[in-house]
A = this chain, B = another copy of it.
Amino acid sequence: MPMGHDAPLTKEMILDAAEQVLRRFGPEKTSVVDIAKALQVSHGTVYRHFPSKAALREAVTERWLVGCISAPLEKIVSEGKGSATERLRLWLDTLRKSKRDYFTRDTEMFAMYAAETQESVETVKAHVNHLIQQIATIVEQGIQSNEFKPGQPEVIAKAIFMATSRFHHPAHANQWLAEDEEETFQAVWELLLRGLV
């Protein structure tokens, strides 16, 4: 979608174009000039909004993490349907399903996110903290209703997130399609639940 030079250029418009171009060319081959071309502006104009290609990549990944991963999970936490156990299981299943779906269907974006995770960029760290906070809310509700044993919700939430890394950290993506994946997750889930309930 090229646009005229005189249209007001917002960060959101740059991210839309960047996402499209990054998907088409891949993170390595995409340059800021390519993104500027898609917007029909000079690369200087893009640089006024984002200081580097790395910053652009990070912003595109962040928008994706928030919109496609965190937001649907946040809904599960805030709607508060069912028991804390049911909510925690739905939360983990939803996280796993969306990661798996993006891994198989949105390869370019997933590869970019996997690379940013490996480089441990700030936005990914913030995303992880945000997810742990969501689990902590579920755990706290479970403790308050006496469904879960007493404990520090944030410490337990971090433990749950870390103990399930194998099922949502992008470095393990290849293993998610294994035949016995559900069975493996079920074994971990049951062990964790025995510690919680």
Contacts and interface: CB of A to CB of B under 8 A. Distances in A.
Most buried by B among A120, A159, A160: A159
Interface residues of A, number: 28
Contact of A188 (B149, B159, B172, B196): B159
A180 to B, nearest CB: 10
Contacts of A165: 165-166, 172
Given A118-B174, A155-B187, A163-B192, 15 more contacts: A156-B187, A156-B191, A158-B184, A158-B187, A160-B191, A162-B184, A163-B163, A165-B172, A169-B171, A191-B192, A191-B195, A192-B192, A192-B195, A193-B195, A195-B195
Interface of A: 118, 120, 149, 155-156, 158-160, 162-166, 169, 171-172, 174-175, 184, 187-188, 190-196
